[in-house]
Amino acid sequence: MGRGENEGDRSGPVRASDPAAAAATWALYGRHAELFAAGGPRPAIHRSAGTFAAFAGAPHGELNQAAIFGPAQADEVRALVAFVAGSRLPALVGRSLGAPEERVAPLVAAGFRRLPDRELLFAAEELPPVRPSPFAIRAIRTAADVAALRPIAHEIHGYAPELSDAFLGWRAVAGDPLSGWLAWDGPEAIAAAFVTRLGRTLGLWNVMTAGAHQGRKAGSAVVRTALREAEAAGSEPIERIVFWASPAGGPFYASLGFRGIDTLEAWVLDAPD
């Protein structure tokens, strides 16, 4: 979900200076993940004081996310692992470095694999300013926009057209609770970003730029506009934005004013045959 960004270089680990604040940020991210996953083909939610799982029910691990953070107790982790394994879906689970190392034992026992690169939980208290750009940034509003999203989502995530249309495109057209934007280079859509809104907070999702256009700052342009327009669509100013970044996305989000709140290990569970 949020970790879909495909621009930038790898970022070093971030140690949470305030474990309670990091746990609160994880809990907020989990609420946004629930909003995002709710539009999936088989959404399912699991939540406790130190864990969450938000599954869209699609056959893509990044759309079935879970996390173990700060106050997670052993029984909470076992319940989370049972939920994830019982879904029989590919899944991504993050273990915050603020959670004890021994909390990974149920993951190991259930056959999860630890990915080699650590990932980042980001947050920002201010929206990045919109800057002049050679690209036209427009909200996803029409069937033509939905169709234009398909090749980007397929190239970056392998999404089938029907998943891209239903889970991202048409939900963005409806605008509740998901909004979406495309960056256009003339007649071609080359980048996309999606936003959830919860009160005075935003969640950022599936930021993706077509490979042939990476490095041209289309991703930055679409994120800046998407966040500003998401704020403008509501009646209250935004106080916090949250995002789970893939290893490649650290410098990109730092350049937009995001700061690392916590570092996590990423564990994956492949769907059974």
Residues 144 and 106 in one domain: no
The answer on 112 and 179 residing in a single domain is no
Residue 87 lies inside a defined structural domain of this protein? yes
Residue 183 forms part of a structural domain? yes
pLDDT score for 176: 81
DSSP code string of the chain: -GGG---S--------S-HHHHHHHHHHHHHHHHHHHTTSSS-EEEEETTEEEEE--SS-GGGEEEEE-TT--HHHHHHHHHHHHHHTS-EEEEEETTS-GGGGHHHHHTT-EE-SS-EEEEEESSPPPP---SSEEEE--SHHHHHHHHHHHHHHH---HHHIIIIIIHHHHHTSSEEEEEEEETTEEEEEEEEEEETTEEEEEEEEE-GGGTTSSHHHHHHHHHHHHHHHTSSS---EEEEEEPGGGHHHHHHTT-EEEEEEEEEEEPPP-
Say if residue 116 is in the same domain as residue 15: yes
* 6 falls within a domain: no
Same domain, 197 and 98: no
Q: What is the pLDDT of residue 4?
A: 52
Answer yes or no: is 257 within a domain: no
Mean pLDDT of 102-129: 95
- Based on the domain organization, do 100 and 161 belong to the same domain? no
Once rounded to an integer, what is the mean pLDDT over residues 169-188? 96
Whether 92 and 150 map to the same domain: the answer is no
How many domains does one find in the chain?
A: 2
Tell me if 245 is assigned to some domain.
Answer: no
- Does 129 fall in a domain? no
Q: What is the pLDDT of residues 41-75, one digit of tens each?
A: 999 999 999 999 999 999 999 999 999 999 899 99
Clarify whether residues 115 and 52 are in a common domain.
Answer: yes
Give the confidence band of 272 by pLDDT, cuts at 50, 70, 90: low
Residues 33 and 92 in one domain: yes
Residue span of the structural domain in which 20 resides:
11-120+262-269
Domain of 169, CATH number, reads: 3.40.630.30
Confidence of residue 5 (pLDDT cuts 50, 70, 90): low
Q: What pLDDT, on a 0 to 100 scale, did the predictor assign at position 273?
A: 39
Are residues 143 and 101 located together in one domain of the fold?
A: no
**Is the model more confident about 165 or about 15?**
165
pLDDT tens, 216-266?
Answer: 999 999 999 999 999 999 889 999 999 999 878 888 999 999 999 999 999
Average pLDDT value over all residues in the chain: 92
Inside any domain, residue 106: yes
Taking 70 as the threshold, does the pLDDT of residue 3 lie above it?
A: no
Query: Is 106 found in the same domain as 164?
Result: no
Q: Which of 125-134, 203-212, 225-234, 247-256 has the lowest mean pLDDT?
A: 247-256
**Residue 97 and residue 160 share a domain:** no
pLDDT tens per residue, range 16-44: 557 899 999 999 999 999 999 999 999 99
pLDDT, residue 248, reads 80
Residues 143 and 105 both lie in one domain: no
What's the confidence (pLDDT) of residue 6? 52
- On whether residue 131 sits in a domain, the answer given is no
